[in-house]
Structure 1
């Protein structure tokens, strides 16, 4: 992935002010960049208004999404993944996806969302439904630009997950661990206007270096997060974390657990292999 593929999006702070509201405060003001998103019928990209930028812009989610954590009752008799088209439409609109890797690999399902679209509410929900060890996938050139080095030069992780030094966004955060602070740090990492000095090290957000070539090079959740952002024309920064079961032991959610979880919360579920096949088909078209 080249640096040219890093797409600009509106920079805003997390807020529940309606998109058509004329009420603003100094902390809500931020510069705006225009971008085009892949959107499903019925989903629209919020139109932002040009403001005078403060000294340290804060970062709003790049679109308004109709999705909120709401429980559903679904009766499913056979297992099935959702279609890639439906999954990409939901992801572009700011929804989470459940992404399952191979049962002979980690055999885990991750919640993945575009970092640029993660609100405080979404982050709080994500923390509650997962192990809580929230990571953010970034391309190597982005990590280099932000001067975020690898955590350890000799990677001994069995799956070669490329952990970097952890970070916090310096502006508008407190300790860095709250849902608000982690969501803001994630959006700042996704923002092309952020620079290396905007972040303190170590922190509470865990960047991961994605392999160039995405899931066609390495079939991991790290690369899946970047490919999903790339396919939906969003900034190349994806939040991800493993889903755990709501039991006394906090066991890892496997395939059927993840399907039930996705149905319960009304989100789409795909596999890393489906994403790889979709990319191959696009390259051959």
Structure 2
């Protein structure tokens, strides 16, 4: 079965549909149903619980989790893939026991509303938030980050609903079963690897944050500071003279060395 392109998957996310994304065989080797959290419905939750059978989780950005005052489930994360579970949540209003498909959808919508605040949810509950790493799948190739990335790329709030797909006998569905599941339910299917490639091809992960004139004993330079939005590392570029795009330019890459740069050490 041919996989769908990341662009096709993003379009379905934009339309409020569910998709399936598989990670690498040497990682979890699993497939998750993913949809934008702001589009969740009781019917969607019921489908996930009935057909996918995994744990319904709510990946969100660290900023949103902080706004909702969600502490991590544990202080020392020893899980195999360090999935960042917070304490479970429930909507503060509009639910009964919290476990029904309608109640879980209500909780998700309360948590991902544009103006959501900590008072809008209570703890514990029946929805399990996950904190996505800054930088998304370019930082961590997990379903948590993939869900947030897909929602963001689709123009939705950067939050998703995800659930692992299990076989009828309770074992994990692998690629052959996931492809059959996707065909049976008319759901687009792709890979996290393709999402990583899509982001690398279509996004700029380095941005200029400042520029200034830098007088030195060798003359006047322009100092430009760039920030890597994935790991927040700063990179500096010194420019001297008039550089034309159509002409070859001499470039030197210098690796930071504190002893040499600051103290003049030759060690």
**Coarse TM-score class (shorter-chain normalised):** 0.7 to 0.9
> What residue in structure 1 maps to residue 196 of structure 2?
276
Deviations 1:180-222 (A, max 9, x none): 0101111111102221011110110000000000000000000
SS at match of 1:202: strand
> What residue in structure 2 maps to residue 143 of structure 1?
65
CA–CA separation in structure 2 for the residues paired with 1:192 and 1:153: 28
> What residue in structure 2 maps to residue 108 of structure 1?
30
Question: Is the CA contact 1:168–1:176 (under 8 Å) kept in the aligned structure 2?
Answer: yes
Measured after TM superposition, the shift of residue 283 of structure 1 is: 2.0
SS at match of 1:136: strand
Question: Is the CA contact 2:54–2:166 (under 8 Å) kept in the aligned structure 1?
Answer: no
Structure 2: give runs of 5+ residues left out of the alignment: 206-267
> What residue in structure 2 maps to residue 263 of structure 1?
183
Name which of 205, 217, 225 aligns with 2:147: 225
> What residue in structure 2 maps to residue 160 of structure 1?
82
Question: Is the CA contact 1:189–1:237 (under 8 Å) kept in the aligned structure 2?
Answer: no
> What residue in structure 2 maps to residue 80 of structure 1?
2
Name which of 172, 175, 200 aligns with 2:97: 175
How do residues 1-285 of structure 1 correspond to structure 2 at under 5 angstroms?
79-246=1-168, 249-283=169-203
SS at match of 2:203: helix
Structure 1: give runs of 5+ residues left out of the alignment: 1-78
CA–CA separation in structure 2 for the residues paired with 1:164 and 1:126: 21
Measured after TM superposition, the shift of residue 157 of structure 1 is: 0.5
Deviations 1:228-283 (A, max 9, x none): 0110110111000100112xx31110011101101111110010000000000012
Normalising by the residue count of structure 2, what TM-score does the alignment of the two structures yield? Answer: 0.75
Aligned length: 205
Measured after TM superposition, the shift of residue 170 of structure 1 is: 1.5
SS at match of 1:125: helix
CA–CA separation in structure 2 for the residues paired with 1:145 and 1:225: 19
Measured after TM superposition, the shift of residue 158 of structure 1 is: 0.6
Which runs of 4 or more aligned residues in structure 1 lie more than 6 Å from their structure 2 counterparts after TM superposition?
Answer: none
Question: Is the CA contact 2:111–2:120 (under 8 Å) kept in the aligned structure 1?
Answer: no
Pairwise CA RMSD of aligned residues? 1.2
Measured after TM superposition, the shift of residue 284 of structure 1 is: 5.4
